[in-house]
A and B are shown apart, each in its own frame.
Chain A
Amino acid sequence: MTVVHYLNQFFAGLGGEEAADHETVRFDGPHGPGKALTAAGLPIDVTVACGDDRFALHEADCLVTLLAWIEEAGADVVVCGPSFGSGRYGYACGVLARELGRRGTPVVAAMTPDSPGVLASEGAAYIVPTTGNVAGMRDAVPVVASLASRLASGAVVGSPDEEGYLPRGLRANVRSEQLGAERALDLLLAKLNGELRTEIAPPTDRVAPPDPLGDPAAARVALVTEAGCVPQGNPDRLPTRHTNIWLRYPIGDRAELGPEDYLSVHAGFDTTEANRDPDRLVPLDAARALAEAGRIGRVHDEFFTTTGVDTPVAVSTRMGQEIGAELRNAGVDAVILTGT
């Protein structure tokens, strides 16, 4: 079993902030926290390290060197950290883990759950959650050592719940002694008791809020909807449910979306009231009023539509990215999205 350990300049004993530009280095045997891992039953064969700023500023070059050394060592598992609450070191651990994951090398890391390294790792690493500072070393080391030893030997590792690492965004098929109905009832009863549990956690894809509009009065604002609003007759045959397409329609100088010209073909709600006035779904008349009042610059001259019924999140994500690219190319500054 060959174990490689990744450290930053501080934990490798190369110096503090003044050594943050330290180039990538390689040592035989354990350094710093690697000694504690070795004592906990995970003998470190090779230690590689890099300064925090060096990695942040020269990521691609540092990765080439580190990955080459790790491959040369023939690592069965790589341990990154613990990086605790360190942003730069945590990020470097996450990026290295992601790249190793793509190459099929198991990685165990340890950091705070809100470290940028968690997202950067893209689920490639088994990340043991830690406290924000090195006071958590004593708790983290045995968990990291145990996970890493088993991964190196190809043993099966349990679920995040069983093992204590952060969910990696994967789903595993398991056999259950209980029927789905029984399990659902257990979860419902637990929920009624104030305990929220789930067998399938919702996706954790998180996008930071884009910067706010500086000057709404100068903004081009687009209307987008998942309410299935289309021209009468649904000329492009937007599916009423389970769609994987979106459509765009010009609104030119229309003052509103009148019921004689538009309707909703959405199969997920009662469209009776909306079809008496489609502005109840795509608020063009009100958007025109705001433009006339100078509250916004102008309404973008087409609206985008799809039906959000039985649509997998992955399909929605793709459609959102496609519509977003169109809006960006068209110089749209902001979006008003309506959902039913």
Chain B
Amino acid sequence: MGIPTVFITALPTIAQMVGANRIVRGVAITHPTGDPSLAAGDELALRVRILDRAVEMLAADVAPRTVWEIDA
């Protein structure tokens, strides 16, 4: 039942409050999957790392309302 979903957000406590179960902490409210302070190549590398972590979480058994950081 259900489609596994990972929520990337810089406000994980709010995500937990409304009942999200797989949560990865994003970079910032204004750019959850980016960092304008990085050079373009580095930023893409960061974004790939965030998504890789998100996919890892999609494939993991988790307790309700679990939050993961980008780097384990």
Which chain A residues have a beta carbon within 8 Å of chain B's beta carbons?
Answer: 202-203, 205-214, 216, 219, 221, 224, 227, 269-274, 276-277, 279-283, 285-287, 289-290, 295-296, 313, 316, 324, 327-328, 332-340
Query: Given A281-B34, A285-B44, A335-B5, list of 19 further CB < 8 A pairs?
Result: A208-B21, A209-B66, A210-B4, A212-B62, A274-B31, A274-B34, A279-B47, A280-B31, A281-B33, A283-B8, A285-B47, A286-B50, A289-B44, A289-B51, A295-B55, A335-B3, A337-B7, A339-B8, A340-B32
B34 and A279 form a contact (CB under 8 A): yes
B71 at the interface (CB under 8 A from A): no
**Partner pick for B36 among A280, A285, A316, CB 8 A cutoff:** A280
In angstroms, Cα B26 to Cα A280, docked, is: 10
In angstroms, Cα B2 to Cα A109, docked, is: 30
B9 and A338 form a contact (CB under 8 A): yes
Q: Which residue of A lies closest to B5 (CB)?
A: A335
Q: Which residue of A lies closest to B9 (CB)?
A: A339
Number of interface residues of B (CB under 8 A): 42
Q: Which residue of A lies closest to B15 (CB)?
A: A339
A210 and B5 form a contact (CB under 8 A): yes
Chain A residues with Cβ below 8 Å from B52 are 290, 295
Chain A residues with Cβ below 8 Å from B34 are 273-274, 277, 279-281, 283
In angstroms, Cα B14 to Cα A202, docked, is: 10
Which chain B residues have a beta carbon within 8 Å of chain A's beta carbons?
Answer: 1-11, 15, 17-19, 21-22, 26, 29-34, 36, 43-44, 47-48, 50-52, 54-55, 58-64, 66
**Partner pick for A334 among B4, B9, B43, B61, CB 8 A cutoff:** B4
B30 and A210 form a contact (CB under 8 A): no
For the complex formed, measure the closest distance between the CB of B9 and the CB atoms of chain A, giving whole angstroms. 4
Chain A residues with Cβ below 8 Å from B21 are 207-210
For the complex formed, measure the closest distance between the CB of A314 and the CB atoms of chain B, giving whole angstroms. 12
**Partner pick for A283 among B22, B36, B50, B62, CB 8 A cutoff:** B50
For the complex formed, measure the closest distance between the CB of A290 and the CB atoms of chain B, giving whole angstroms. 6
Most interface-central of A211, A221, A281, A334 (chain B CB within 10 A):
A334
**Partner pick for B30 among A206, A219, A271, A334, CB 8 A cutoff:** A271
Chain B residues with Cβ below 8 Å from A328 are 3
Known: A213-B4, A313-B18, A327-B3. A269 touches B64 (CB 8 A): no
**Partner pick for A206 among B19, B22, B33, CB 8 A cutoff:** B19
B26 and A338 form a contact (CB under 8 A): yes
Chain A residues with Cβ below 8 Å from B29 are 269, 340
B30 and A336 form a contact (CB under 8 A): no
**Partner pick for B61 among A212, A219, A277, A313, CB 8 A cutoff:** A212
In angstroms, Cα B10 to Cα A340, docked, is: 7
For the complex formed, measure the closest distance between the CB of B24 and the CB atoms of chain A, giving whole angstroms. 9
Most interface-central of B2, B11, B17 (chain A CB within 10 A):
B2
Chain A residues with Cβ below 8 Å from B36 are 273, 276-277, 280
**26 A-B contacts (beta carbon < 8 Å):** A202-B17, A207-B2, A209-B66, A211-B4, A213-B58, A213-B59, A219-B58, A221-B58, A283-B33, A283-B47, A285-B44, A285-B47, A289-B44, A316-B18, A324-B3, A328-B3, A334-B58, A336-B6, A338-B7, A338-B9, A338-B32, A339-B7, A339-B9, A339-B15, A339-B26, A339-B32
